Amino acid sequence: MRLKNLNGRPIIVVGGAGYIGSHVCKTISSKGGIPIVFDNFSAGHEHSIKWGPNELVDLRDSQATLNAFEKYKSVETVIHLASSIEVSHGENFPSEFYTNNVLGTLNLLNAMKNTNAKKIIFSSTCATYGEIDDVPIMETVTQNPSSVYGKTKLAIEHMIESFHKAYSLDYIILRYFNAAGADPEGDIGEEHDPETHLIPNALEAAANGKLMEIFGDDYDTIDGTCMRDYIHVNDIAAAHINSIKAQENGLVSADINIGTGTAYSVFQIINMIEKVTGYNVKYKICKRRAGDLSKLYADTSKAEMILGFKTKYSDLENIIQTAWNFYKNKNERFNPKK
Ligand code: UDP
């Protein structure tokens, strides 16, 4: 599918100040659209909003959410990425996760029901599948999430399907695998606080000689560490443009994996980080992290067939190189003028 110009079209991006959201906004803008960011800035950063207006909106506040939608009455399409994401935190604080993710999205859907916004593209996750023996994972397998995070995302998928049936809300659920890498132009990148993800943690360890933790080396995988499907964040962003176009062309409902179809182990990632940075990564093996699954990677045929989606940036070396460039860019030691 060709990515035609978005022609000044406004698109609400909920969670647009976050890691994936900011890359989505930049991509929308580069295609001629106007991203309108709704964010409560609990995890996102104001400095990541550069391509359109923004509203301070906390989805847990139903009236504030409705008011924000009333302000942008003519907008038809909503991309929803706002969510608590840290898997192990969810295990200890499920109430927070269900409130932020499920209640927040219910308020969002209710606001959409009362306004013009009748199309949603929702950022779901491979964590909704749970431990699946049959990899690559197809969208048709029974979803059985084991983490609180995955359960909240699956509950949202169900809510969206119900709103589709009852209120004709068009939806595309994108089940992302592991978002990684950074904007090749260095504008934006991964800046979680606290940072829990493998690649930024391993880059930090490479740069500072700090000891990083590897959560388990006794999984049933090639080297005992967990394997994931790392997809460049720019490719994930591009999948949203394909989704907007697919909805324009009449797609009313779909759930689609967004991954590369290849899995890498924690050790393979560390090896690539050592190659790209030229530094050693020191680590210690720790016990398994709560909620982690051994091996997840996507069957990508549905994304290709329905969205015409193919990755362009997700070569592992490019993922690590762009993440490393961003790390150096924001780190005084490598960039003393900042
Ligand atoms: N991981 C690790 N050390 C870290 C961060 C992550 O060993 O400091 C492992 C984690 O256990 C998982 C993989 O790296 O197996 C990917 O974790 P990440 O948090 O990046 O993504 P997730 O798959 O949990 O969304």
Ligand 1 midpoint to CA 215 (Å): 7
**Catalytic one among 19, 72, 129, 149?**
149
Q: Which atom of ligand 1 is nearest to the CA of 125?
A: 25
Q: What is the pTM assigned to this prediction?
A: 0.95
Do residue 222 and residue 242 come from a single domain? no
Catalytic status, residue 72? no
Helix, strand, or coil (residue 20): helix
Instruction: Give a yes or no: residue 237 inside a domain.
Output: yes
Q: Which residue has the higher pLDDT, 291 or 13?
A: 13
Residue 315 burial by Cβ neighbours in a 10 Å radius (0-12, 13-18, 19+): middle
**How many structural domains comprise the chain?**
2
Do residue 239 and residue 295 come from a single domain? no
We report the CATH number of the domain holding residue 306 as 3.90.25.10
Query: Which residue minimizes the CA distance to atom 7 of ligand 1?
Result: 214
Instruction: Give a yes or no: residue 129 inside a domain.
Output: yes
| Residue among 144, 22, 167 nearest 81 (CA) | 22
Q: Are 276 and 319 a contacting pair, CB within 8 Å?
A: no
Do residue 210 and residue 99 come from a single domain? no
What's the pLDDT score for residue 17? 94
Around ligand 1, the residues with Cβ closer than 6 Å are 87, 178, 196-198, 201, 212-215, 226, 228, 266, 289, 292
Ligand 1 midpoint to CA 178 (Å): 9
220 lies in which domain range? Answer: 198-227+261-330
What's the pLDDT score for residue 166? 96
Q: Which atom of ligand 1 is nearest to the CA of 293?
A: 15
Q: Rounding to the nearest 10 degrees, give the CA dihedral for residues 93, 98, 104, 107.
A: -150
In the chain, beta strands by DSSP E: 10-14, 34-39, 54-56, 77-80, 119-125, 170-176, 178-180, 211-215, 227-228, 230-232, 253-258, 264-265, 282-286
pLDDT per residue over 65-81, tens digit each? 999 999 999 999 999 99
Do residue 137 and residue 151 come from a single domain? yes
| Residue among 257, 94, 91, 76 nearest 170 (CA) | 76
pLDDT per residue over 115-128, tens digit each? 989 999 999 999 99
Q: Are 279 and 207 a contacting pair, CB within 8 Å?
A: yes
Residues 6+ positions from 61 with CB-CB distance below 8 Å: 107
Query: Which residue minimizes the CA distance to atom 8 of ligand 1?
Result: 198
Per the structure block, which two tokens stand in for 130? Answer: 């749970």
We report the CATH number of the domain holding residue 101 as 3.40.50.720
CA atoms within 13 A on the CB side of 331: 16
Do residue 120 and residue 247 come from a single domain? yes
Rounded to an integer, what distance in angstroms lies between the CA atom of residue 90 and that of residue 77? 29
Do residue 217 and residue 239 come from a single domain? no
pLDDT-derived band at 290, boundaries 50, 70, 90: confident
Do residue 173 and residue 210 come from a single domain? no
Q: Which atom of ligand 1 is nearest to the CA of 87?
A: 24
